[in-house]
Structure 1
């Protein structure tokens, strides 16, 4: 009898050891039913309607009714089984699956969607994204209809994002804002199990989840019982944890580590671009930058290719104000601008001469009436690519005779300087997968002092143009209008990288950086 028990014990021990062995990337982070992810920043909260920025945690907790496909060319069903838009763009109808539920098992009906949107309009800082929805009608238990005040194609960016996920508004009311923000109830593939502040958040599988997303094979519950998201601020620690097999997926791979990880057979990397632009805003109200010739000289005095080389290709040169990771981007317009504003030192010097600036004392800098052309540049300490770019830009502008003085501040302070119009030239950037972000950068709606009637007109027309091709043309017209005034020059789009162990299969990373985990498995 004891011998049989001993044999049985040995069999169990062998099974346990086999189950913990790992394979592929050599991950020892957990068994095949647990996925471990490392990210840089701890979340603000889990309630998508109370926070100002999101990340992969929220991608797992929430599911929007619709989603962009991977190249932003089409809007497809997601949590909704299907949807329709009226010909005039004023009515959007969503059809839910029968017996849809929140992650905690509460019924998720058309009324739930209505309450979620109403709550978003009431408390979210992104309420303006859905301001065009003037009425929501519950047609029946599984059908909800939005009535818009005017066509609002810009709204799709929000509806397809994590902010378009359905929040259990009744549960939020019962728990109160603070408690709900600790463990919000959504409709995504995972739900909050435990949030250990300063360390990690553990998500467990939502047994009620399903999706109509045609781009994934697994349209039901996730393949992992739990997903652990660890908060690891130090970028090289995230890399070493991946290489050691302690985590399965890392975000925000540092540029210095990308090549090594790409060459590592035990690692798979996924690249995508900033859905936006990093640019320099310029003072147009006071000398010397109130002279457009000087602003034009700066634009063509910059060698964006050389800048990208100096930054080890962690950025991609950008001449316009939209990247390929944004809806509304035009490759033709970007190519046109690249040709029109290509690097040309001699032409830049000629423009400075037309503005009255020449190097009269042969010190390498141009001057006017004995005063050197000096510009103060506000550069961020907390955006790595922009910080690294500043001294390169300084040297490039020095080559055409401009004395660029770098002043470093945190991004939030630079933003405030620009709002107060208390700057000469400042590093700025934005991220949003729709071109409508330009409306909140270059019009009076931005809260910034610079705006122009012709620029505002093109952006207002674009945000209410339903046809995608016509809308793209409007953003081409925007570029014509803004370059006629040139209050800013674009520099680059950041190149981002996600890395996984080679034993992690099925991850989808879209061109604007969304991570889709439905088909992910760990071998």
Structure 2
């Protein structure tokens, strides 16, 4: 009986919020849209409002990849069709056994410190990543990378321990931006944190922590990716990359003209901005969706049937549709998002709301009594679930509202969900990250393919811990499926294996999907040429220009 009431409560809350925001914006009016043949203005500064500030301007978090993409070039770029095309590397070959990738670099490219982008520098970056310079690059290469060597000035050979057909594709992600070897070897970690040196279209001029990063045009830029929309240096002179945590404030900045472009549009604002003729971009991030994984090492979710009971308690699609206003896509698959090659619809459809089945499973497990608040008990113990989430970092305001709805719906069948917003300082300190600190965990991992499954589900051992395995679930069978898929060169066979892995995750109720992570942009129509790069959906300002 409580599930329909939950949906009505959610709808009423959303409607009230929509009315308040509509009233606050009623004086904004529509933006002036320049004509299609409006002339390009040379130079100018793009004021861009982003939602989160990273700890360093290069690293393994997607927020770092978004900004570093502006000043670090990758070896390859990803097209809208998912094809890897040349960037710093103009060509590559693969050995017959699939274990050596030989890359030919563009000639004459320099980092902005004047040193060459050569094979030695590229090989150094690979070793730097796996030695701890970038934790996310390291886990993507882990289990596959052996060494990199400079064959000559413009030829680098990457040696792998086993075949990895999607290796080149994975290098299109922003975590693999190439930095100056001289800078990494001679400067302090703090200097490289605050002003990484690459060969990109922009250069980091200054970082005013808590406020903004100022990027200035690299007038000597020569290494644009093949899928860029123009050649030569960037059109604009500067990008003022501001940090504005509140979504409504970002939208207000766009409407007032204080910002030319903003990131992470609140779902409730989408239709309004669209109707006011702002240019909107939406990218459904491939990889792991915003999902919830169960801690399988302790009660109550060491019991597979209790994991299933929790999922059956939820009308997930209704939650996401209500709070997401049709902008945020519902995602049932706990393994990978619907934008990911190799996606299994069967895994996505494995569970639907079934209150009777949830109650049956809970009764069968002995949780037959209820306390005065309606929570189930067993031998005097409450069926309590600790659910911390990374508020303001991994999870935005829309996501937090979705989790609150999960908490409310789970109560109907007797789960007491302790929802704990974890501030950024505790997130970076690793609070609530160990197996003794939570019962369910939410989060995503961006990826360009289903190979992310190996990162999220590789068994964790004492000698080789896997901190990305948030379920703490070790399955040789699941690992075998994923490894076989990662090394399978036939795409259909590869996707079939990835599908089996997703279905294993669903069958054993290890993780369940809620919604797909979005990368969204709102742009003033007087700023043109802004697009989302296709590996992770971050903004690209190299091709952007103003018109009048």
TM-score by length of structure 1 reads 0.83
User: Aligned residue pairs: how many?
Assistant: 491
Matched, 1:253 2:265: yes
Deviation at 1:53, TM superposition (A): 5.2
Which one of the candidate residues 466, 469, 483 is aligned to 1:446?
Answer: 466
Deviation at 1:302, TM superposition (A): 1.6
- C-alpha deviations, 1:444-467, integer Å up to 9, x for none? 242453222222222232333344
Distance in 2 between residues matched to 1:359 and 1:229, nearest whole Å: 55
SS in 2 for 1:62: coil
Distance in 2 between residues matched to 1:112 and 1:259, nearest whole Å: 47
Aligned to 1:522: 546
Aligned to 2:338: 324
Aligned to 1:487: 510
Deviation at 1:224, TM superposition (A): 1.4
Distance in 1 between residues matched to 2:60 and 2:379, nearest whole Å: 55
Aligned to 2:492: 469
Residues 246 and 91 of structure 1, relative CA distance in 2, 3 Å threshold: same
Deviation at 1:203, TM superposition (A): 1.6
- C-alpha deviations, 1:187-243, integer Å up to 9, x for none? 111112233333222222223323463322313321112222122233322222211
Aligned to 1:296: 308
Which one of the candidate residues 277, 293, 297 is aligned to 2:289?
Answer: 277
Distance in 2 between residues matched to 1:315 and 1:107, nearest whole Å: 44
Aligned to 1:89: 98
Kindly indicate whether the alpha-carbon contact (under 8 Å) linking 1:40 and 1:233 is maintained by their aligned counterparts in 2. yes
Q: Which moved more, 1:464-473 or 1:497-506?
A: 464-473
Residues 316 and 49 of structure 1, relative CA distance in 2, 3 Å threshold: closer
Distance in 2 between residues matched to 1:137 and 1:373, nearest whole Å: 56
Matched, 1:343 2:363: no
Distance in 1 between residues matched to 2:532 and 2:311, nearest whole Å: 33
Which one of the candidate residues 77, 80, 99 is aligned to 2:86?
Answer: 77
- C-alpha deviations, 1:335-382, integer Å up to 9, x for none? x23433222333333433444555789996666678765544444544
Q: Which moved more, 1:500-509 or 1:171-180?
A: 171-180
Matched, 1:513 2:537: yes
Distance in 2 between residues matched to 1:150 and 1:308, nearest whole Å: 40
Q: Which moved more, 1:478-487 or 1:285-294?
A: 285-294
Which one of the candidate residues 180, 187, 195 is aligned to 1:168?
Answer: 180
Aligned to 1:117: 126
Matched, 1:393 2:437: no
Which one of the candidate residues 478, 491, 498 is aligned to 2:521?
Answer: 498
Q: Which moved more, 1:234-243 or 1:131-140?
A: 131-140
Matched, 1:420 2:429: no
Deviation at 1:269, TM superposition (A): 0.9
Kindly indicate whether the alpha-carbon contact (under 8 Å) linking 1:89 and 1:466 is maintained by their aligned counterparts in 2. no
Deviation at 1:290, TM superposition (A): 3.5
Residues 301 and 415 of structure 1, relative CA distance in 2, 3 Å threshold: farther
Deviation at 1:186, TM superposition (A): 0.2
SS in 2 for 1:167: coil
Pairwise mapping of residues 12-23 of structure 1 onto structure 2 (< 5 A)? none
Distance in 1 between residues matched to 2:177 and 2:296, nearest whole Å: 41
- C-alpha deviations, 1:238-292, integer Å up to 9, x for none? 2222112122111122233222212112x11111224422222324344443332
Kindly indicate whether the alpha-carbon contact (under 8 Å) linking 1:78 and 1:211 is maintained by their aligned counterparts in 2. yes
SS in 1 for 2:281: strand
Kindly indicate whether the alpha-carbon contact (under 8 Å) linking 1:79 and 1:210 is maintained by their aligned counterparts in 2. no
Matched, 1:103 2:112: yes
Residues 431 and 129 of structure 1, relative CA distance in 2, 3 Å threshold: closer
Matched, 1:457 2:480: yes
Kindly indicate whether the alpha-carbon contact (under 8 Å) linking 1:51 and 1:124 is maintained by their aligned counterparts in 2. no
SS in 2 for 1:311: helix
Aligned to 2:501: 478
Aligned to 1:44: 55
Task: Mark the runs of 5 or more structure 1 residues left unpaired by the alignment.
Answer: 1-21
Deviation at 1:509, TM superposition (A): 1.8
Distance in 1 between residues matched to 2:448 and 2:496, nearest whole Å: 17
Deviation at 1:308, TM superposition (A): 0.8
Distance in 2 between residues matched to 1:173 and 1:289, nearest whole Å: 47
Which one of the candidate residues 241, 247, 257 is aligned to 1:229?
Answer: 241
